Amino acid sequence: MDLVDQLKKRGYFGNNNIFGYRKDKTKLVIYEEEAKMVRELFEIYSTGEMGFYKISEYFKEKGYTGKNGTPISSQSLRRIIRNPKYKGYYRTGTVKVVDYKLHKAQRMPKEEWQVFECKENIPAIVSEELWEKCNSILDKKAKSLLNRVENKDVFKSRYTFSGLIYCKDHKEKEHKPGFNRIAGGKRSNKPAWACSEYIAHGLKGCESPIIEESELIEILKVVLDKFLQNKEEIIEDLLNKYKKFNETKDFKLEISKIEDNIKEVQAKKDKLLELTIKNLLSDEEFYKRNEELNKEIVKYNKKIYALKEEKENITTIENSMKQIKKTLEKEINIDENIEDLIKLLVDKIYVSKVDNNRKHIKLEIYFKIGEPITLEGNLNKTKNQEYIIDSSSQSLNHDIYHCTRK
C-alpha cells in the first residue's frame, strides 16, 4: 500500500486549525460560518481585479475575522488560495525532517510534493476549476513581478532599511520589534519607518519616533561619508580579520571527534541491550542507564549543531568582508550608491525617544565593521537638521552632522 492509499484509508490526521473547517476524528467537516468567506475570497480573486491587500480591507469592513477574532491579513488570504484542501485535495512531502533530535527540517522543492484527491476525508469548499483559476492568476502575478527584477536577491530585503531598524523603547522585550515601512495615504510621497507595534496598535502599542525614509538616507549619507574617509584603515582592519578567520578552529576535526564520542556511547547502549537479553541486567536498570546515554547523545548532537552553525556564520561573515573590501577599493560616489552602501555596511539601527519625547530621537548605528555610533536630533521638520554624535562613540570624533531635509 503506497502513501496515498495509507492516507486515504487512515483518514485526515493533519492539524485542526484550518479556516473553514473543523476536525471530526479522522475527517474534516465544513464550518459554514467561515466557509462562506472562503468562497467569497476565491470568487473575488478569480476576477483578477483585486489583490490580497484590498480584499483584506474589504473583508475588514464586512466584519470578517480569523479564528482569533482579529482581521484576516493579506498573507493569510494568500495561504488560503494556495491550500489545495479547499478543493478537496491533500498535500504532503512539503518538508523533510533532517534531524529528529534537534527538530530540524528543510523545505522540499515543489516538484517533490505529493498532492492527491481526498474528498471523502476533506470535503471541497470550492470547485477544482475555481481553485485552479485563482492559483493560475497568482502564479502569473508572481512570475510577472519576478521578471521585472533583475537581481532576485532583492526580495531578501525589498527596501533599503528592511530588517535593519529596531525599536529600543521596548526594554522588557529581549528581541526588539522591528521597524516597518509606511507609505500609504498621506505618506504615499513621503514614506516613513515606524515600530511594528505602533503600526499594529497605535500609540498604545508604542510611542517611539517615526522617521521619514528620506531623512534616514540623508543621515546615512553624512555618516557613511565620514566613515569612508578612513577607507584605508578599514581595509587594513578587514585584512587582519581575514587572517583571524583563516586561523580559526578546525571545525571538521572537532565534529569528527564528537562523532567518535557518539559512536562510543552507542557501543555502550548496544552492550546494555546485550546484558539485558542475557538477563544480566534488570529492565529497570536498563531503562535508567539507557536514558542517561541518550542524554549524552543529545548533548553531543547539540554541540555538532552549534559548531556547524558557527562555521556557517563565519563563512557568511567572510563572504561579507570580501564584498566590502571589493567595494571599498573602488571610487565611491555616496549620492549614487547610498542604498547599496547602507545594505553593505550597516548591520542594524536602534531607534528610541529621548526624555520621553517622540520628537527627540536617538539613533544607534551598528556597522558590519568598525565601531558603532550614536546620534541624537530633533524631528522639527526644518530644512537643515542637526544630529549630534554622542561623545561615547569611539569610531568618530564628537561632532555635529548637518543633514538637509528633502
For 228-256, the pLDDT digits (tens) are 777 777 667 766 766 666 566 788 888 89
Going from the C-alpha of 334 to that of each of 219, 221, 331, 343, 374, the distances in angstroms are 12, 6, 10, 13, 21
Going from the C-alpha of 377 to that of each of 65, 225, 381, 400, the distances in angstroms are 41, 19, 11, 10
Rg of the chain (C-alpha set): 28
Phi, psi of 208 (to 5 degrees): -70, 160
- Predicted local distance difference test score (pLDDT) of residue 3: 47
- Predicted local distance difference test score (pLDDT) of residue 105: 58
Phi, psi of 356 (to 5 degrees): 60, 25
Cα separation, 320 vs 97, whole angstroms: 30
> Do 348 and 363 touch, CB atoms closer than 8 A?
no
Cα separation, 230 vs 244, whole angstroms: 21
Q: Which class is 3-147 in CATH?
A: alpha beta
> pLDDT (tens digit, 0 to 9) for every residue of the chain, 406 residues total?
444 454 555 554 456 678 999 888 778 899 999 999 999 999 999 998 888 888 988 898 888 888 878 888 888 899 999 999 999 888 776 666 555 555 555 666 766 677 778 788 889 999 999 999 999 998 887 766 545 444 445 444 568 888 899 998 887 666 778 888 887 667 667 888 999 888 888 888 898 999 888 888 888 888 888 777 777 776 677 667 666 665 667 888 888 999 999 999 999 888 888 888 888 888 888 888 888 988 888 898 888 888 888 887 777 767 766 776 777 667 677 777 788 888 888 889 999 998 888 888 899 999 877 778 888 888 755 555 556 655 444 444 334 444 444 4
Q: What is the mean pLDDT of the chain?
A: 78
Buried b (16+ CB within 10 A) or exposed e, 112-147: eeeeeebeebbbbbbeeebbebbbeebeeeeeeeee
For the segment 115-149, what is each residue's pLDDT rounded down to a tens digit?
778 788 889 999 999 999 999 998 887 766 545 44
Domain limits, the chain: 3-147, 165-231+338-404, 239-328
Cα separation, 262 vs 260, whole angstroms: 5
Beta bridge partners of 23: 28
- 23: exposed, middle or buried (Cβ count in 10 Å: 0-12, 13-18, 19+): middle
Give the max Cα distance, the chain: 88
Beta-strand pair 165-167/346-354: parallel
